[in-house]
Structure 1
Amino acid sequence: MIRPNKRGAFVRSRRLFPLIALGLAALALTSCSGTSSPSASSSASASSSASAGTVAATDVCEQPAAEGDISKSVTVSGDDLTAAPTIAIGDAAVPTAIERTVALAGTGDKLADGDYVSYAVTMFDATGTQTSDQGHTGAALTEQLTATTGIGQIFGCTTVGSRIVIAAPQQDGSAGYWVFDVLDATPGAQWCTVSDKPGKLPEVAFDTAGKPNITIPAGTTAPSEVELSVLTEGDGDVVGEGDSVTVDYTGVKWSDGTVFDSSWDRGEPATFSTTGVVTGFKRALEGQKVGSTVLVAMPPKCGYAGTGNELADETLVFVVKIESSAPAAG
């Protein structure tokens, strides 16, 4: 879930993968649902917990969890990835760690480090009864595949069009099953890039204390891409990928113009890494100079789409003032 905190509303929160692959504390994917905080996203809620160690591999192809007799014994119906599958349980034993089997190998592109993977996931209890389905109806879930997170244990470098079975132990001592359908993948550099032809952006007025007031233009359509305008250009260092930045910001919903989070209102700026925020917010920061004030509008897919967050279906608008930046460690 997302909640206002010192780190800010755009801070990424965990999705289903890291939770399921690295400890399944409680498949509550989403940047937390609730308030705001430019955090990442996630979605799905299944109460489970798997014991899997920290992922040490540096190549996503080396990360997939090992196939086991239990995951291999699960029979998945159909090969239509647009619909939720059903399963039949073979070996009823409870796995001691996460197990993975590719039930259907897709014929699409091979996943690579940094790709944004669009997927659907169906969850089942120990009897094979479906408990949840996400991504087959409504927006697909999306997560960035990196060698430094646990999601590689699920996807690895499989191909688009694949259907993957995960079996894992749950906190109550039973087995839990997940079927992941890999629907699409977009290289990181091509995901939610800034439009070179922005439409009519919101109007911004500042009070005497420098706090912005954002007005959504009446009768305009929300943008389908990230749109950005530099309101004031600073003269400091350029923000690089992964830098730690300190910013003041206000975020509003395009749908009704209401403020959902503001560091100005809290009286304290937020500090975070540019790689720790939703993609639309990341695009607004990297490449800008310290001291700049930036206006950015982002569609749901570049914010919290596919999550349980209350902002999942919202086009978001932020005014951000970059106060300082420090290079990424290492």
Structure 2
Amino acid sequence: MRKRPLIVLSTVAAATLLLAGCSGDAAPESTGTAAPSADASCLADLPSGAGSDAVAVEGSGAGATVSVPAGTEITEAQRSVVVEGDGDEVLPGDLVSLRYQLVDATTNEVLSTSERGPDGVLSALLSTQNPQQMVDPTQSTVFTVAAECLPIGSSVVLTLPAAQEGSHASILYVETIEQLPVIASGSEQEPADGAPAVELDDAGSPSITIPDGDAPAETEVVVLKQGEGAEVAPGDLVTVQYRGVKWSDGSEFDSSWGRDAVPAQFQTSGVVTGFRLALEGQKVGSQVLVTMPPKDGYGASEGNELQNESLVFVVDILATTPIEQAP
């Protein structure tokens, strides 16, 4: 369902990131991003060094101040643990909340921060594509490298060398806060008459049974669980679990549950109309059922397996991230 690659770090107002190991690109018409199993090894497991050890952090939380002494040389990516937490270890596939600051290593100017988000918390899904990108502060990979394989409650500094000649090195400061649920946590609602039936297994994975009769002519959205979190706004970066089937025969064509139940992440403006309508205006923690006709799905796209198909999705909304467009 996803149509194009997503954002860079500099556009994040309050990010949501999925911790995962190296993975390939998603299929062009897939809703989510393919990811490895949750027991994958650390992406980088960076050592500390003179550069990262020199970074000073005073305070914690929203009041933390990060500074780099004049003359500090930052020529490679390094990670130093400021405080080691006492929670569970953050592993690939985990969904966590965190705070961060991205600081210019020459001027100590704060370039980007989660403090623009609700309560200063970045509901954090640390997703990655290529470990070679980790030195580039415009890639979400740096969050994975910073937070991976340390206990919840840890704070770290990650040095990021200048991405190109004439630019400055930077420092990413990250505090992990808590592990978040990877299924919808809202209160169950009464099912709608005539809608596809949804049953959940012990892990929360949904099965969908299509009723007899024709598919609706217009997109219909039913809330199966009502969440109490932040509302998904147009263009937000969302973190979801989902399963999609065809109305015509009930066969599955796409699912995050089929990829080791690792959540998917995409921007609401980068999916088909029916999926966008299912997300925008809903609250984090909700589970929604959406039935969409071809006009709000893939229409008559010649050669697409979903050509002229009415589609049904069950979607667990786990987190949402406001996006600031880069100038």
**Equivalent of residue 101 in structure 2, options 105, 122, 126:** 122
Q: Please provide the CA RMSD for this pair.
A: 5.0
**Is the alpha carbon distance of 1:215 and 1:95 closer, same or farther for their aligned partners in structure 2, counting shifts above 3 Å?**
same
Superposition pairs for residues 59-98 of structure 1, below 5 Å? 59-60=41-42, 63-78=44-59, 80-81=60-61, 83-90=62-69, 92-98=71-77
In structure 2, what residue type is equivalent to 1:95?
Answer: I
Contact conserved, 1:76 with 1:86, CA < 8 A, in 2? yes
Distance 1:292 1:163 in 2: 47
Q: TM-score if structure 2 supplies the norm length?
A: 0.54
User: In 2 relative to 1, CA 193–86 (structure 1 residues): closer, same or farther, beyond 3 Å?
Assistant: same
Match of 1:134 in 2: 114
Query: C-alpha offsets along residues 137-175 of structure 1, whole Å, 9 cap, x if unaligned?
Result: 415231146898645422221111111111212233422
Query: Partners of 1:270 and 1:180 in 2: how far apart?
Result: 42
1:263 aligned residue: 297
Secondary structure of 1:308's counterpart equals: coil
| Offset, 1:102 | 0.9
Task: Note the C-alpha offset of 1:295.
Answer: 3.6
Deviation at residue 122 of structure 1 after TM alignment: 0.8
TM-superposed CA distance for 1:264, in Å, is 2.9
- Which of 214, 217, 225 aligns to 2:219? It is 214
CA drift of 1:266 comes to: 7.2
| Alignment partner, residue 250 of structure 1 | 274
Rounded to whole Å, the distance in 2 between the matches of 1:296 and 1:58 is 27
Distance 2:217 2:122 in 1: 34
Distance between the aligned counterparts of 2:324 and 2:273, measured in 1?
20
Unaligned runs of 5+ in 1: 1-6, 17-26, 32-36, 41-56, 272-290, 311-330
The one-letter code sitting in structure 2 at the alignment partner of 1:255 is G
Q: TM-score, normalised by structure 1?
A: 0.53
Rounded to whole Å, the distance in 2 between the matches of 1:202 and 1:131 is: 51
State the shift of 1:117 in Å: 2.2
- Name the aligned partner's letter for residue 213 of structure 1: E
Shift of 1:77: 0.9
State the alpha-carbon separation in 2 of the partners of residues 212 and 192 from structure 1: 30
Secondary structure (helix, strand or coil) at the match of 1:111 reads coil
> Does the aligned pair in 2 maintain the 1:113–1:147 contact within 8 Å?
no
Deviation (angstroms), 1:180: 0.6
Shift of 1:65: 1.8
Question: Cα distance, 1:97 vs. partner?
Answer: 1.9
Aligned to 1:46: none
- Cα deviations across residues 224-247 of structure 1 (Å, max 9, x unaligned)? 59798989483657977239xxx9
Structure 2: tracts of 5 or more residues without a match: 17-29, 34-38, 132-140, 197-213, 230-240, 261-270, 283-289
Amino acid at match of 1:159: P
CA separation of 1:166 and 1:262: change in aligned 2, threshold 3 A: farther
AA aligned to 1:294 is V
Q: Deviations over 1:59-106 (max 9, x none)?
A: 22x73222121111111011x33x141122125334222121111111
Q: Tell me the equivalent position of 1:197.
A: 188
Q: Is the Cα–Cα contact under 8 Å of residues 120 and 135 in structure 1 kept in the other structure?
A: yes
Q: Distance in 1 between matches of 2:244 and 2:111?
A: 44
Distance in 1 (CA, whole Å) between partners of 2:76 and 2:249 is 51
Provide the C-alpha distance between the structure 2 equivalents of 1:168 and 1:155, rounded to a whole number of angstroms: 15
Instruction: Report if aligned partners of 1:122, 1:180 keep a CA contact under 8 Å in 2.
Output: yes
Determine if contact 1:250/1:264 at 8 Å carries over to the other structure.
no
Q: Take 2:67 and 2:89, find their aligned partners in 1: how far apart are those partners? A: 28
Residues 1-330 of structure 1: matches in 2 within 5 Å? Answer: 8-9=2-3, 13=6, 16=9, 27-28=10-11, 38=31, 59-60=41-42, 63-78=44-59, 80-81=60-61, 83-90=62-69, 92-125=71-104, 126-134=106-114, 137-138=117-118, 140-144=122-126, 150=141, 151-170=143-162, 171=164, 172-186=166-180, 190-193=181-184, 197-199=188-190, 212-215=217-220, 223-224=227-228, 232=247, 234=249, 236=251, 241-242=258-259, 250-251=274-275, 252=277, 253-255=279-281, 262-265=296-299, 267=301, 293-299=311-317, 301-302=318-319, 305-308=320-323
What residue is the counterpart of 1:54 in the other structure? Answer: none
SS of alignment partner, residue 213 of structure 1? coil
Task: For 1:87 and 1:73, locate their aligned partners in 2 and report how far apart those are by CA, in whole Å.
Answer: 11
- 1:222 deviation in Å? 5.2
Assess, with a 3 A threshold, how the Cα gap between structure 1 residues 146 and 89 changes in structure 2: closer, same or farther: closer
Matches of 1:181 and 1:28 in 2, distance apart?
A: 20
CA distance in 1 between counterparts of 2:175 and 2:273 reads 37
The 2-side partners of 1:268 and 1:309 are apart by: 35
Do the aligned residues in 1 keep the contact of 2:66 with 2:108 (CA within 8 Å)?
yes
